[in-house]
């Protein structure tokens, strides 16, 4: 009788993701024969695979004259999971992934160092392609490691004695060697968990929002096995334990006639006050808010919105669009929850894997939590019928084995585009047959400290129709922007907020040959991007529906030296993290941005006639014209600051006057400002004032000599407003 091990293995051999149980011998045979997926996504021939599995030779024993009674061999325990030990100054967390559920045939670990009463993260390692020797007594794993720190002991050997399913899990012994087999440190690590990482998960919801707790994946046709999945069990299948951080807090419904939509500033302010586990440091803790609707409308399914300090710790989902109790709505809810939380662990969308760290090929055809159903080849129906409700293999590897700071919430910033930051975007492609062209425009120079705003234009170059995403703003994820600084350093503009947008598309044709967007790119997740005097180059990259990447022209701009003391003082008042965030959000009442608001007040009080004061008026005027909801204590209704309409109208009119005279904001921002002013006037009952503002808007843009289709769009916006 064969020695069976109750180990679940996903063969990826057309079995639809159905898990089966195999013996140790069968696992070894599968590991020896199965094709391996390389980092580039290609299938490696068996003879080129680095991973091998060897079995101990069987010794033949002559049978005794009497045949003994048959015995049932003990079932062997899988060794996959997390091991660790703290000894002396050092603590190691070890992850072994060579059998068990969906084995990725890798090992990895993190080192921590204790000095006095403090423990600090030291570094990580991973063995990408180890050799695995499986016997009934032990599993021995050997491989060359990649480390985040310098060491000569790069060969890693891990030995784990095998125990029965009814026995206690054995400790793993990890030894480090040089390439010449000179031994280094050895650690004996007791078993800790079958999960590779543990994360504390805190979830709050707005009153009236029915949050999802589970979904039966057999309710509708799919590509995976039927099972009941919750948020926690979906991550458990990836090897991640989500521990509930406590009861779900209910945010009371807003009272009266207040606006129930959430602004980015309100979301961030709520997280700072309601996320009990939050701190400005890397930690295995994450927060999710189930809210009703984002201020941008039902096109926003979810958002990763934490703005200040360490990133990727909070996200929100919006039930105005994903809510409901029908099977398709419950499926969409589970998908949206998992997708947004996946971003918090530094997973980009499937079609944006080139932005990951390290970069890998984009995978728009991946049936993964991280893909967009409407981006999948064949559309949503094809995606859902194929989707097994799982992360793909490379994402599983990221969760289980990525270097600690690349996956931990609050660690490294969300994605980093190798394509942009190595300068490739500044080299035109050999050919562009998409029928689309991306163009950047901006003033030739900016004052030191002036917010840098660029205009983006996506146009068709043929008479044939071209279907495109209308979300051109870099905040929405379809467009990336690279900036070459005066020093020669190339950085990617990273939005402070990442949106999960719907699958809306539009046609570009002879009647509507282009779409436009204005983007403030002066401040993002990395702080200020234009903080040096000198010449800059800016380039953008648009990800088209078919996967093509359309590179824009290279825009050259200059940041000028301050000319006098007033220029220096205003620049100092504009350059501050809180001021940058207020410019990004177009204002906020959040206590966390109080000093930024004080700096803008100083600009208006001391330098009200300075040209850059228009931006302080814009931020203060937009924010004054909308209400702001603040949640002070759990269980209490939000405090609502009503719109300050008089203040808003006064400030926005000065922005419009300055812009009409040529010393204000760009055209698209001016358009937004005037429509906002008209809405505020309408809300106060001043219909005549609102009509006059919209008539003035159309007149201003007609006099600018814009193209007829642009003027037509502005006239339509005025009529709709």
Q: Three-state SS string across 291-357, please?
A: ECCECCCCCEEEEECCCCCCCCCEEEEEHHHHCCCCHHHHHHHHHHHHHHHHHHCCCCCHHHHHHCC
Token pair, residue 440, equals 């950047």
The span from the CA of 66 to the CA of 62, in Å, is 12
Higher per-residue pLDDT: 448 or 640: 448
DSSP assigned state of 611: T
Q: Which residues, 6+ apart, have CB-to-CB distance to 712 below 8 Å?
A: none
Q: Token digits for 686?
A: 């001043």
Residues 6+ apart with CB under 8 A from 148: 123, 124, 125, 403
pLDDT interval class at 38 (50, 70, 90): very low
Q: Are 192 and 200 in contact (CB under 8 A)?
A: no
Each residue's pLDDT tens digit, 97-117: 999 889 999 999 999 998 888
Q: pLDDT at position 633, please? A: 64
Question: Which of 19-28, 36-45, 252-261, 274-283 is least confident?
Answer: 36-45
For residue 260, what are the contacts with CB-CB under 8 A and spacing of at least 6?
A: 253, 254, 292, 293
Q: Residue 564: CB partners within 8 Å, gap ≥ 6?
A: none
Assess whether pLDDT exceeds 60 at residue 719. Answer: yes
Low-confidence winner among 34-43, 361-370, 584-593, 676-685 (lowest mean pLDDT): 34-43
Q: Give just the sign of the alpha carbon dihedral 363, 368, 369, 372.
A: positive
List, in sequence order, every residue forming a beta bridge with 459; answer none if it has no partner: 437, 514
**For residue 611, what are the β-bridge partners?**
none
d(CA 395, CA 390): 10
**CA–CA distance, 507 with 516 (Å, rounded to integer):** 14
* Range of lowest pLDDT (48-52, 271-275, 455-459, 588-592): 48-52
Give the mean pLDDT of 375-397: 94
**Residue 5 pLDDT exceeds 70:** no
Two structure tokens written together for 112: 């921590």
Angle, CA 99 vertex, CA 97 and CA 104 arms, to 5°: 45
DSSP strand pairing (118-127 vs 138-147): antiparallel
CB-based contacts of 600, cutoff 8 Å, min separation 6: 573, 579, 582, 616, 619, 620
Residue-wise pLDDT for 321-365, tens only, equals 999 999 999 999 999 999 999 999 989 889 888 777 677 888 989
Chain-centre distance for alpha carbon 318: 17
Cis preceding linkage at 254, omega within 30: no
DSSP string over 644-657: -HHHHHHHHHHHHH
Task: Supply the pLDDT for residue 715.
Answer: 80
Is it the case that residue 46 has pLDDT exceeding 70?
no
CA distance 660 to 674: 11
Q: Provide the token pair at 423.
A: 């300068």
Q: Comparing 422 with 395, which gets the higher pLDDT?
A: 395
Q: What is the pLDDT of residue 33?
A: 45
On whether the CB atoms of residues 183 and 177 are closer than 8 A, the answer is yes
> H-helix or E-strand containing 371?
none
Length of the chain: 721
pLDDT at 65: 52
CA-CA-CA-CA dihedral for 513, 515, 516, 519, to nearest 10 = -150
Name the more confident of 571 and 21: 571
Q: Which among 713, 680, 685 is positioned nearest to 697, based on CA atoms?
A: 713
3-state secondary structure string, 106-152? Answer: EEEEEEEEEECCEEEEEEEEEECCCEEEECCCEEEEEEEEEECCCCC
Question: Comparing 34-48, 79-93, 411-425, 443-457, which segment has the lowest mean pLDDT?
Answer: 34-48
Instruction: Give CB contacts under 8 A, 24+ apart, made by 690-698.
Output: 690/721, 694/718, 694/721, 696/656, 697/671
- Work out the pLDDT band at 55, boundaries 50, 70, 90: very low
The overall average pLDDT reported for the chain is: 83
pTM, rounded to two decimals: 0.71
- Which of the four pLDDT bands, split at 50, 70 and 90, describes residue 8? very low
In the chain, the percentage of residues whose pLDDT exceeds 90 is 51
* Measured distance between the N- and C-terminal CA atoms of the chain, rounded to whole angstroms: 78
Q: What percent of the chain has pLDDT over 70?
A: 82
CA atoms within 13 A on the CB side of 468: 31
């Amino acid at each position: 009788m064969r020695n069976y091990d109750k180990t679940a293995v996903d063969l990826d051999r057309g079995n639809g993701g159905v898990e089966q149980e195999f013996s140790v011998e069968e696992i070894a045979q599968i590991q020896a024969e199965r094709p391996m997926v390389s980092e580039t996504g290609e299938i490696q021939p068996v003879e080129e695979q680095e991973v091998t599995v060897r079995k101990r030779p069987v010794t033949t024993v002559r049978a005794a004259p009497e045949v003994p009674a048959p015995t049932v061999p003990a079932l062997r325990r899988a060794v996959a999971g997390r091991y660790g030990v703290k000894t002396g100054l050092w603590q190691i967390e070890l992850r072994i992934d060579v059998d068990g559920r969906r084995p990725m045939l890798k090992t990895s670990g993190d080192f921590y160092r204790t000095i006095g009463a403090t423990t600090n993260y030291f570094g990580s390692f991973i063995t990408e392609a180890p050799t695995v020797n499986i016997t009934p007594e032990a599993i021995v794993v050997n491989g060359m490691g990649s480390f985040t720190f310098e060491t000569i002991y790069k060969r890693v050997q891990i030995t784990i004695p095998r125990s029965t399913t009814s026995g206690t899990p054995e400790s793993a012994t990890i030894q480090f060697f040089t390439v010449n087999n000179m031994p280094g440190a050895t650690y004996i690590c007791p078993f800790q968990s079958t999960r590779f990482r543990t994360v504390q998960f805190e979830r709050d919801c707005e009153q009236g929002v029915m949050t999802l707790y589970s979904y039966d994946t057999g309710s509708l046709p799919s590509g995976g096995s039927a099972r009941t999945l919750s948020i926690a069990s979906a991550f458990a299948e990836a090897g991640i334990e989500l521990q509930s951080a406590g009861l779900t807090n209910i945010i009371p419904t807003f009272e009266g006639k207040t606006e129930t939509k959430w602004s980015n500033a309100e979301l961030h302010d709520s997280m700072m006050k309601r996320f009990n586990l939050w701190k400005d440091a890397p930690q295995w803790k994450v927060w999710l808010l189930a809210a009703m609707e984002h201020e941008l409308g039902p096109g926003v399914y979810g958002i990763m919105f934490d703005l200040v300090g360490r990133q990727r710790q909070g996200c929100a989902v919006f039930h105005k669009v994903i809510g409901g109790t029908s099977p398709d709505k419950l499926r969409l809810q589970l998908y949206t929850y998992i997708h947004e939380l996946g971003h918090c662990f530094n997973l980009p969308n499937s079609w944006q894997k080139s932005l990951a760290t390290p970069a890998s090929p984009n995978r728009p055809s991946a049936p993964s939590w991280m893909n967009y159903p409407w981006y999948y080849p064949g559309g949503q129906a094809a995606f859902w019928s194929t989707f097994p409700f799982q992360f793909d293999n490379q994402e599983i590897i990221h969760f289980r084995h990525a270097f600690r700071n690349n996956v931990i919430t609050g660690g490294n910033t969300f994605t980093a585009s190798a394509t942009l930051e190595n300068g490739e975007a500044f080299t035109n492609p050999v050919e562009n047959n998409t029928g689309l062209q991306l163009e950047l425009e901006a003033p030739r120079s900016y004052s030191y400290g002036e917010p840098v705003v660029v205009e983006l234009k996506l146009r068709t170059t043929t008479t044939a129709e071209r279907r495109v995403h209308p979300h051109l703003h870099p905040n929405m994820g379809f467009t990336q922007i690279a900036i070459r600084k005066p020093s020669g350093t190339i950085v990617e503009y990273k939005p402070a907020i990442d949106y999960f947008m719907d699958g809306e598309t539009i046609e570009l044709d002879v009647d509507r040959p282009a779409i436009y967007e204005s983007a403030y790119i002066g401040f993002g997740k990395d702080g200020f991007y234009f903080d040096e005097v000198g010449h800059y180059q800016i380039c953008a990259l648009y990800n088209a529906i078919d996967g093509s990447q359309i590179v824009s022209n290279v825009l050259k701009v200059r940041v000028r030296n301050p000319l006098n003391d007033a220029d220096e003082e205003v620049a100092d008042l504009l350059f501050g993290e809180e001021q940058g965030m207020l410019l990004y959000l177009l204002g906020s009442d959040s206590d966390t941005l109080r000093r930024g608001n004080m700096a803008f007040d100083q600009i208006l009080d001391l330098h009200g006639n300075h040209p850059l004061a228009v931006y302080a008026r814009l931020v203060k005027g937009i924010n004054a014209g909308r209400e702001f909801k603040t949640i002070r204590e759990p269980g209490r209704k939000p405090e609502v600051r009503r719109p300050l309409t008089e203040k808003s109208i006064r400030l926005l009119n000065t922005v419009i006057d300055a812009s009409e005279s040529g010393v204000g904001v760009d055209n698209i921002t001016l358009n937004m400002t005037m429509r906002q002013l008209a809405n505020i006037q309408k809300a106060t009952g001043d219909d005549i004032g609102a009509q006059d503002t919209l008539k003035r808007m159309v007149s201003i843009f007609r006099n600018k000599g814009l193209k007829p289709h642009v003027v037509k769009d502005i006239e339509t916006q005025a009529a709709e407003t």
